[in-house]
Amino acid sequence: MKQFPSQKYSTAGAYCSAYFDEHQKAAATVKPEQLDKAAAVLSDCIRDGGVIFVCGNGGSASISNHFCCDALKTLRSDTSLAPRIMSLASTSPVITAIGNDIGFEEIFAYQLDSMLRPADILVTVSSSGDSENIVRAVKVAKSKKNQVISLTGFGGGRSRNLADVNLHIDCDNYGIIEDIHQSLMHILMQYLRHQEMSLALVEERTF
């Protein structure tokens, strides 16, 4: 895995060209079979009436929140699917209470321990895959026998190996990793919507 950037660029345009070259290389490292498994786990959870819990820190928290938007709006459009989804990163009063009184490493795990039920799944978004609060959330889900999908980058960290399904980006640039994680979220939601629609409707609608 080559570091990017590893040199200085004279213009923003030159940096942009190099960035997208690296972006393309990183996107090609996503394993299609893992994406197939992720789609199946998400589909089963929705059809079984389970809740999709999503969590992440920083930019990954924004992806977690966006995941809810695409599930509740995009995925429902033109389909009979009725996903139930919650971003554990969106509950700022709860997060700050847990972080202040118990510890930041527990902000997701503590929520999951109360709310996780048998049909539910956990999706974690973490560039390092090794943030302590992410790893603890994964361990809570696994202890309750719930399935976990992890989105990772860099070396993948502990959550890469703990998860049932891992969507890994072989890259060491935060921006590129987060870009592709966001793309994978869009791909999964659009694909699941696409599967529920007739070809005529697919051709008519925008995605």
Range of 49-63, 68-82, 190-204 with top mean pLDDT: 49-63
Which tokens sit at 111? Answer: 């929520």
User: Tokens 């005529």, residue?
Assistant: 200
pLDDT, tens only, 121-141: 999 999 999 999 999 999 999
Is the pLDDT at 3 greater than 90, yes or no?
Answer: no
pLDDT band at 1 (very low <50, low <70, confident <90, very high): low
Per-residue model confidence (pLDDT) at position 15? 97
Q: Which fold has domain 12-204?
A: Rossmann fold (3.40.50)
Contact of 126 with 159, CB cutoff 8 Å: yes
Which tokens sit at 139? Answer: 């361990």
- Quick check: pTM over 0.85? yes
Q: Is 61 helix (H, G, I), strand (E, B) or coil?
A: helix
Three-state helix/strand/coil letters over 104-122: HHHCCHHHHHHHCCCCCEE
Per-residue model confidence (pLDDT) at position 90? 96
